[in-house]
Protein backbone atom coordinates (compact mmCIF):
# COMPACT_ATOMS: atom_id res chain seq x y z
CA UNK A 1 0.00 0.00 0.00
CA UNK A 2 1.51 3.36 -1.08
CA UNK A 3 2.23 6.07 1.48
CA UNK A 4 -0.61 8.43 0.32
CA UNK A 5 -3.10 5.57 0.55
CA UNK A 6 -1.84 4.65 4.04
CA UNK A 7 -2.15 8.25 5.20
CA UNK A 8 -5.69 8.53 3.79
CA UNK A 9 -6.70 5.24 5.47
CA UNK A 10 -5.31 6.22 8.87
CA UNK A 11 -6.95 9.67 8.64
CA UNK A 12 -10.36 8.09 7.91
CA UNK A 13 -9.96 5.64 10.81
CA UNK A 14 -9.03 8.43 13.22
CA UNK A 15 -11.95 10.56 12.08
CA UNK A 16 -14.40 7.65 12.56
CA UNK A 17 -13.08 7.03 16.06
CA UNK A 18 -13.46 10.69 17.01
CA UNK A 19 -17.02 10.75 15.70
CA UNK A 20 -17.88 7.67 17.81
CA UNK A 21 -16.37 9.24 20.91
CA UNK A 22 -18.26 12.49 20.38
CA UNK A 23 -21.62 10.81 19.73
CA UNK A 24 -21.60 7.75 22.00
CA UNK A 25 -19.32 8.25 24.99
CA UNK A 26 -20.82 9.13 28.38
CA UNK A 27 -18.71 10.09 31.39
CA UNK A 28 -18.60 7.63 34.26
CA UNK A 29 -20.63 9.09 37.13
CA UNK A 30 -20.03 8.14 40.72
CA UNK A 31 -23.12 7.54 42.82
CA UNK A 32 -22.28 10.63 44.80
CA UNK A 33 -22.59 12.83 41.74
CA UNK A 34 -26.18 11.94 40.97
CA UNK A 35 -28.51 14.86 41.44
CA UNK A 36 -31.09 14.22 44.17
CA UNK A 37 -34.73 15.25 44.14
CA UNK A 38 -35.65 18.50 45.80
CA UNK A 39 -38.82 17.97 47.82
CA UNK A 40 -40.67 15.51 50.03
CA UNK A 41 -43.16 14.82 47.27
CA UNK A 42 -40.63 14.10 44.51
CA UNK A 43 -40.89 10.46 43.37
CA UNK A 44 -37.75 8.43 43.75
CA UNK A 45 -36.74 8.39 40.10
CA UNK A 46 -33.11 7.47 40.74
CA UNK A 47 -31.87 3.96 39.91
CA UNK A 48 -31.44 1.75 42.95
CA UNK A 49 -28.02 1.50 44.50
CA UNK A 50 -26.30 -1.82 45.05
CA UNK A 51 -27.42 -2.96 48.47
CA UNK A 52 -25.55 -4.71 51.22
CA UNK A 53 -26.22 -8.46 50.78
CA UNK A 54 -28.61 -9.65 53.47
CA UNK A 55 -26.91 -11.65 56.15
CA UNK A 56 -23.44 -10.35 55.35
CA UNK A 57 -21.34 -10.62 58.52
CA UNK A 58 -19.63 -7.58 59.96
CA UNK A 59 -16.45 -7.07 57.94
CA UNK A 60 -13.06 -7.35 59.59
CA UNK A 61 -12.38 -3.91 60.98
CA UNK A 62 -9.00 -2.25 60.54
CA UNK A 63 -7.21 -1.59 63.80
CA UNK A 64 -6.84 2.08 62.88
CA UNK A 65 -10.58 2.71 63.14
CA UNK A 66 -11.81 4.58 66.19
CA UNK A 67 -14.26 2.98 68.60
CA UNK A 68 -16.98 5.28 67.27
CA UNK A 69 -16.30 4.25 63.67
CA UNK A 70 -16.35 0.59 64.63
CA UNK A 71 -19.70 1.07 66.36
CA UNK A 72 -21.16 2.75 63.27
CA UNK A 73 -20.00 -0.10 61.04
CA UNK A 74 -21.25 -2.82 63.39
CA UNK A 75 -24.71 -1.28 63.86
CA UNK A 76 -25.15 -0.68 60.14
CA UNK A 77 -23.93 -4.17 59.19
CA UNK A 78 -26.24 -5.81 61.73
CA UNK A 79 -29.44 -3.81 61.27
CA UNK A 80 -29.52 -2.05 57.88
CA UNK A 81 -31.27 -5.08 56.35
CA UNK A 82 -34.23 -4.28 58.62
CA UNK A 83 -34.83 -0.98 56.79
CA UNK A 84 -37.02 -1.04 53.67
CA UNK A 85 -37.76 1.35 50.84
CA UNK A 86 -41.48 2.13 50.40
CA UNK A 87 -42.82 3.43 47.08
CA UNK A 88 -46.36 4.76 47.01
CA UNK A 89 -48.51 5.31 43.95
CA UNK A 90 -51.77 7.10 43.36
CA UNK A 91 -54.11 7.40 40.39
CA UNK A 92 -53.47 10.01 37.74
CA UNK A 93 -54.03 10.72 34.05
CA UNK A 94 -51.61 9.81 31.27
CA UNK A 95 -51.18 11.71 27.99
CA UNK A 96 -54.31 10.02 26.65
CA UNK A 97 -56.31 11.10 29.70
CA UNK A 98 -56.52 7.50 30.90
CA UNK A 99 -56.53 6.79 34.63
CA UNK A 100 -53.29 4.98 35.48
CA UNK A 101 -51.14 4.41 38.59
CA UNK A 102 -48.60 7.22 39.07
CA UNK A 103 -45.67 7.09 41.47
CA UNK A 104 -46.35 9.54 44.29
CA UNK A 105 -43.15 9.32 46.33
CA UNK A 106 -40.79 7.16 48.34
CA UNK A 107 -40.09 6.74 52.01
CA UNK A 108 -38.58 4.38 54.53
CA UNK A 109 -39.85 1.79 56.96
CA UNK A 110 -38.57 -0.64 59.57
CA UNK A 111 -39.38 -4.33 59.81
CA UNK A 112 -41.18 -5.12 63.07
CA UNK A 113 -41.43 -8.91 62.89
CA UNK A 114 -41.05 -11.97 60.66
CA UNK A 115 -44.77 -11.84 59.82
CA UNK A 116 -44.05 -9.01 57.40
CA UNK A 117 -45.32 -6.10 59.52
CA UNK A 118 -43.51 -2.85 58.76
CA UNK A 119 -43.80 0.47 60.62
CA UNK A 120 -43.62 3.78 58.79
CA UNK A 121 -45.13 7.25 58.86
CA UNK A 122 -48.74 7.83 57.87
CA UNK A 123 -47.67 10.56 55.46
CA UNK A 124 -45.51 8.00 53.60
CA UNK A 125 -48.53 5.86 52.69
CA UNK A 126 -51.24 8.55 52.56
CA UNK A 127 -51.08 9.11 48.79
CA UNK A 128 -51.61 5.39 48.11
CA UNK A 129 -55.00 5.55 49.85
CA UNK A 130 -56.37 7.53 46.90
CA UNK A 131 -56.73 4.46 44.70
CA UNK A 132 -53.04 3.66 44.39
CA UNK A 133 -50.79 1.04 45.94
CA UNK A 134 -47.61 0.38 47.91
CA UNK A 135 -44.44 -1.50 46.99
CA UNK A 136 -41.71 -2.46 49.44
CA UNK A 137 -38.12 -3.10 48.41
CA UNK A 138 -36.05 -5.22 50.78
CA UNK A 139 -32.28 -5.06 51.22
CA UNK A 140 -31.80 -7.90 48.71
CA UNK A 141 -33.64 -5.79 46.07
CA UNK A 142 -36.68 -8.08 46.00
CA UNK A 143 -39.93 -6.11 45.71
CA UNK A 144 -43.27 -6.98 47.30
CA UNK A 145 -46.71 -5.38 47.15
CA UNK A 146 -47.87 -4.17 50.56
CA UNK A 147 -51.26 -3.76 52.15
CA UNK A 148 -52.22 -1.31 54.86
CA UNK A 149 -52.83 -2.94 58.25
CA UNK A 150 -53.81 0.26 60.06
CA UNK A 151 -52.90 3.88 60.47
CA UNK A 152 -53.00 6.71 63.00
CA UNK A 153 -52.76 10.21 61.49
CA UNK A 154 -52.74 11.75 64.98
CA UNK A 155 -49.27 10.28 65.60
CA UNK A 156 -48.22 10.12 61.93
CA UNK A 157 -47.78 6.35 62.17
CA UNK A 158 -48.94 3.37 60.14
CA UNK A 159 -48.31 -0.34 59.75
CA UNK A 160 -48.16 -2.08 56.38
CA UNK A 161 -47.60 -5.76 55.66
CA UNK A 162 -45.86 -7.76 52.94
CA UNK A 163 -46.03 -11.48 52.19
CA UNK A 164 -42.35 -12.37 52.16
CA UNK A 165 -40.43 -15.45 53.35
CA UNK A 166 -39.39 -15.23 56.99
CA UNK A 167 -35.75 -15.72 56.08
CA UNK A 168 -35.84 -12.44 54.13
CA UNK A 169 -37.22 -10.42 57.05
CA UNK A 170 -34.82 -8.96 59.62
CA UNK A 171 -36.67 -7.17 62.46
CA UNK A 172 -34.88 -4.37 64.29
CA UNK A 173 -35.25 -4.54 68.09
CA UNK A 174 -37.23 -1.76 69.76
CA UNK A 175 -35.57 0.04 72.63
CA UNK A 176 -36.99 2.62 75.04
CA UNK A 177 -37.36 6.36 74.54
CA UNK A 178 -38.11 7.20 78.18
CA UNK A 179 -34.97 8.41 79.92
CA UNK A 180 -33.03 9.44 76.82
CA UNK A 181 -30.41 12.12 77.45
CA UNK A 182 -29.32 15.06 75.35
CA UNK A 183 -25.93 14.26 73.87
CA UNK A 184 -26.50 10.54 73.37
CA UNK A 185 -25.27 9.23 70.03
CA UNK A 186 -27.90 8.29 67.43
CA UNK A 187 -27.81 6.69 63.99
CA UNK A 188 -30.45 7.16 61.27
CA UNK A 189 -30.90 4.68 58.43
CA UNK A 190 -33.25 5.46 55.56
CA UNK A 191 -33.64 6.26 51.89
CA UNK A 192 -33.05 10.01 51.45
CA UNK A 193 -33.84 11.12 47.90
CA UNK A 194 -34.12 7.43 46.96
CA UNK A 195 -30.58 6.51 48.07
CA UNK A 196 -31.36 3.20 49.74
CA UNK A 197 -30.16 2.39 53.26
CA UNK A 198 -28.11 5.53 53.85
CA UNK A 199 -26.51 5.92 57.29
CA UNK A 200 -26.16 9.26 59.05
CA UNK A 201 -25.09 9.88 62.62
CA UNK A 202 -25.50 12.58 65.23
CA UNK A 203 -26.67 13.15 68.76
CA UNK A 204 -29.92 13.74 70.59
CA UNK A 205 -30.25 17.52 70.49
CA UNK A 206 -33.30 17.74 72.75
CA UNK A 207 -36.05 15.61 74.24
CA UNK A 208 -39.65 16.33 75.12
CA UNK A 209 -40.34 18.33 71.98
CA UNK A 210 -43.86 18.62 70.53
CA UNK A 211 -44.68 18.66 66.83
CA UNK A 212 -47.98 18.98 64.99
CA UNK A 213 -49.38 16.16 62.87
CA UNK A 214 -51.07 16.93 59.56
CA UNK A 215 -54.50 16.69 61.22
CA UNK A 216 -53.57 19.30 63.83
CA UNK A 217 -53.06 16.88 66.73
CA UNK A 218 -49.97 17.35 68.89
CA UNK A 219 -47.36 14.57 69.04
CA UNK A 220 -45.57 14.75 72.37
CA UNK A 221 -42.18 13.67 73.74
CA UNK A 222 -40.61 13.91 70.29
CA UNK A 223 -36.84 13.43 69.94
CA UNK A 224 -34.84 16.21 68.25
CA UNK A 225 -31.60 15.19 66.52
CA UNK A 226 -28.90 16.74 64.36
CA UNK A 227 -28.37 13.51 62.40
CA UNK A 228 -28.97 14.36 58.73
CA UNK A 229 -32.59 13.60 57.83
CA UNK A 230 -33.83 14.41 54.33
CA UNK A 231 -36.86 13.71 52.13
CA UNK A 232 -37.13 9.93 51.90
CA UNK A 233 -35.89 9.33 55.46
CA UNK A 234 -39.48 9.53 56.72
CA UNK A 235 -40.53 6.29 58.39
CA UNK A 236 -36.97 5.06 58.91
CA UNK A 237 -35.51 4.23 62.32
CA UNK A 238 -33.48 6.38 64.66
CA UNK A 239 -31.18 3.98 66.53
CA UNK A 240 -29.07 4.16 69.66
CA UNK A 241 -25.47 2.96 69.75
CA UNK A 242 -26.68 -0.57 70.58
CA UNK A 243 -28.73 -0.70 67.38
CA UNK A 244 -32.10 -0.44 69.14
CA UNK A 245 -34.87 1.69 67.66
CA UNK A 246 -35.55 4.75 69.82
CA UNK A 247 -37.71 6.62 67.31
CA UNK A 248 -39.12 6.87 63.80
CA UNK A 249 -37.86 9.83 61.79
CA UNK A 250 -40.79 12.02 60.77
CA UNK A 251 -40.11 15.72 60.25
CA UNK A 252 -37.41 18.29 59.65
CA UNK A 253 -37.21 22.04 60.06
CA UNK A 254 -35.71 23.45 56.88
CA UNK A 255 -36.24 26.41 54.56
CA UNK A 256 -34.79 24.36 51.68
CA UNK A 257 -36.49 20.95 52.19
CA UNK A 258 -33.06 19.55 53.05
CA UNK A 259 -31.27 18.81 56.30
CA UNK A 260 -30.06 21.77 58.34
CA UNK A 261 -29.49 19.72 61.48
CA UNK A 262 -32.97 19.93 63.01
CA UNK A 263 -34.88 16.69 62.67
CA UNK A 264 -37.62 15.08 64.74
CA UNK A 265 -38.37 11.44 65.51
CA UNK A 266 -41.55 10.02 67.03
CA UNK A 267 -40.49 8.28 70.28
CA UNK A 268 -40.39 4.50 70.19
CA UNK A 269 -42.56 4.19 73.32
CA UNK A 270 -45.35 5.82 71.29
CA UNK A 271 -44.46 3.71 68.25
CA UNK A 272 -44.71 0.47 70.23
CA UNK A 273 -48.08 1.42 71.74
CA UNK A 274 -49.62 2.57 68.45
CA UNK A 275 -48.27 -0.20 66.21
CA UNK A 276 -49.28 -2.85 68.75
CA UNK A 277 -52.89 -1.70 68.53
CA UNK A 278 -52.76 -1.38 64.74
CA UNK A 279 -51.47 -4.92 64.30
CA UNK A 280 -53.91 -6.44 66.79
CA UNK A 281 -57.06 -4.40 66.15
CA UNK A 282 -56.46 -2.42 62.96
CA UNK A 283 -57.07 0.83 64.84
CA UNK A 284 -55.80 2.66 67.93
CA UNK A 285 -57.79 2.07 71.11
CA UNK A 286 -57.98 5.67 72.23
CA UNK A 287 -59.54 6.78 75.50
CA UNK A 288 -62.71 8.82 75.11
CA UNK A 289 -64.10 11.67 77.19
CA UNK A 290 -67.02 12.63 74.98
CA UNK A 291 -66.67 16.41 75.13
CA UNK A 292 -67.69 17.89 71.80
CA UNK A 293 -67.10 21.47 70.70
CA UNK A 294 -65.46 23.90 73.13
CA UNK A 295 -65.10 27.69 73.00
CA UNK A 296 -61.91 29.52 74.13
CA UNK A 297 -62.72 31.99 76.90
CA UNK A 298 -59.80 34.31 76.22
CA UNK A 299 -61.30 37.50 74.86
CA UNK A 300 -64.86 36.59 75.94
CA UNK A 301 -66.81 39.88 76.26
CA UNK A 302 -66.71 41.12 79.87
CA UNK A 303 -70.19 42.55 79.72
CA UNK A 304 -71.61 39.25 78.54
CA UNK A 305 -69.67 37.41 81.23
CA UNK A 306 -71.10 39.64 83.99
CA UNK A 307 -74.63 39.28 82.63
CA UNK A 308 -74.48 35.47 82.74
CA UNK A 309 -72.38 35.08 85.87
CA UNK A 310 -69.29 33.82 84.08
CA UNK A 311 -66.37 34.30 86.44
CA UNK A 312 -63.48 33.15 84.23
CA UNK A 313 -61.77 34.49 81.14
CA UNK A 314 -59.50 31.45 80.98
CA UNK A 315 -60.03 27.89 79.81
CA UNK A 316 -62.61 26.57 77.35
CA UNK A 317 -66.39 26.60 77.66
CA UNK A 318 -68.03 23.28 76.81
CA UNK A 319 -70.58 23.81 74.05
CA UNK A 320 -71.69 20.23 73.55
CA UNK A 321 -71.47 16.83 75.24
CA UNK A 322 -71.96 13.45 73.59
CA UNK A 323 -74.93 11.62 75.17
CA UNK A 324 -73.99 8.67 77.41
CA UNK A 325 -70.32 9.62 77.16
CA UNK A 326 -67.94 9.60 80.14
CA UNK A 327 -68.26 13.40 80.38
CA UNK A 328 -72.05 13.20 80.40
CA UNK A 329 -72.00 10.45 83.04
CA UNK A 330 -69.63 12.57 85.17
CA UNK A 331 -72.07 15.48 85.03
CA UNK A 332 -70.08 17.94 82.91
CA UNK A 333 -72.55 20.38 81.34
CA UNK A 334 -72.62 21.81 77.85
CA UNK A 335 -73.84 25.29 76.90
CA UNK A 336 -77.51 25.97 77.55
CA UNK A 337 -77.83 28.64 74.90
CA UNK A 338 -76.23 31.49 72.95
CA UNK A 339 -76.07 35.24 73.35
CA UNK A 340 -75.19 37.93 70.87
CA UNK A 341 -72.60 40.62 71.40
CA UNK A 342 -71.94 42.99 68.53
CA UNK A 343 -71.72 40.92 65.36
CA UNK A 344 -70.79 37.67 67.11
CA UNK A 345 -72.65 34.96 68.98
CA UNK A 346 -71.19 33.40 72.13
CA UNK A 347 -72.14 30.23 74.07
CA UNK A 348 -73.52 30.66 77.58
CA UNK A 349 -74.35 28.33 80.45
CA UNK A 350 -71.66 25.70 79.87
CA UNK A 351 -68.98 24.46 82.24
CA UNK A 352 -65.54 25.96 81.62
CA UNK A 353 -62.64 23.51 81.46
CA UNK A 354 -59.71 24.97 83.41
CA UNK A 355 -57.32 22.10 84.14
CA UNK A 356 -56.68 18.42 83.43
CA UNK A 357 -54.90 16.34 86.04
CA UNK A 358 -54.05 19.53 87.88
CA UNK A 359 -52.35 21.20 84.90
CA UNK A 360 -53.91 24.22 83.16
CA UNK A 361 -55.48 23.49 79.78
CA UNK A 362 -53.63 25.62 77.25
CA UNK A 363 -54.98 24.27 73.96
CA UNK A 364 -57.36 21.58 72.75
CA UNK A 365 -54.67 19.66 70.78
CA UNK A 366 -52.44 19.55 73.86
CA UNK A 367 -55.37 18.33 75.99
CA UNK A 368 -56.08 15.57 73.47
CA UNK A 369 -52.43 14.53 73.51
CA UNK A 370 -52.45 14.36 77.33
CA UNK A 371 -55.61 12.24 77.37
CA UNK A 372 -53.98 9.84 74.90
CA UNK A 373 -51.51 8.80 77.61
CA UNK A 374 -54.36 7.07 79.44
CA UNK A 375 -56.51 4.07 78.54
CA UNK A 376 -60.13 3.03 78.82
CA UNK A 377 -61.10 2.43 82.46
CA UNK A 378 -58.68 5.02 83.86
CA UNK A 379 -60.08 7.74 86.12
CA UNK A 380 -58.91 11.25 85.31
CA UNK A 381 -59.67 14.64 86.88
CA UNK A 382 -60.98 17.77 85.20
CA UNK A 383 -61.14 21.09 87.03
CA UNK A 384 -64.06 23.18 85.83
CA UNK A 385 -65.54 26.60 86.52
CA UNK A 386 -69.29 26.54 87.07
CA UNK A 387 -70.61 30.00 87.88
CA UNK A 388 -68.38 31.31 90.66
CA UNK A 389 -67.28 27.82 91.81
CA UNK A 390 -64.26 25.74 90.84
CA UNK A 391 -65.09 22.04 90.93
CA UNK A 392 -62.95 18.92 90.47
CA UNK A 393 -64.87 16.39 88.37
CA UNK A 394 -63.60 12.77 88.12
CA UNK A 395 -64.21 11.13 84.73
CA UNK A 396 -63.85 7.41 83.98
CA UNK A 397 -62.58 7.06 80.42
CA UNK A 398 -64.11 4.70 77.87
CA UNK A 399 -62.73 3.36 74.61
CA UNK A 400 -63.56 5.62 71.69
CA UNK A 401 -66.58 4.18 69.85
CA UNK A 402 -66.29 3.60 66.08
CA UNK A 403 -68.47 6.58 65.19
CA UNK A 404 -66.16 8.93 67.13
CA UNK A 405 -62.80 7.70 65.82
Query: Which residue in 80, 108, 123, 259 is the catalytic one?
Result: 123
Residue 373: active-site member = no
CB-based burial of residue 266 (10 Å sphere; 0-12 exposed, 13-18 middle, 19+ buried)?
Answer: buried
User: Would you say 223 and 31 are in contact if contact means Cβ atoms under 8 Å apart?
Assistant: no
Residue 95: active-site member = no
Query: Which residue in 88, 158, 234, 325 is the catalytic one?
Result: 234
Residue 234: active-site member = yes
Query: Which residue in 89, 152, 156, 158 is the catalytic one?
Result: 156
Q: List active site positions.
A: 123, 156, 234
Amino acid sequence: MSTPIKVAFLTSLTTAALVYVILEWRPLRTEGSRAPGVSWAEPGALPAEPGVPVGTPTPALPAALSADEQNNIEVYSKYSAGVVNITSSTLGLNSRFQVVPVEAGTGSGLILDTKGNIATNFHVIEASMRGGGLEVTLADKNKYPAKIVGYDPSNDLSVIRIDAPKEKLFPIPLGKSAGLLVGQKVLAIGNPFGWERTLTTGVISATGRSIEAENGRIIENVIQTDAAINPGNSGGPLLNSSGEVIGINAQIVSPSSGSVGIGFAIPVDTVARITGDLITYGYVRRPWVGIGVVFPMEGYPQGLARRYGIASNQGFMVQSINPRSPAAIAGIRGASGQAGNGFRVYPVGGDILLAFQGKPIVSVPELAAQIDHFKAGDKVMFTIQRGDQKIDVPVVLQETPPEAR
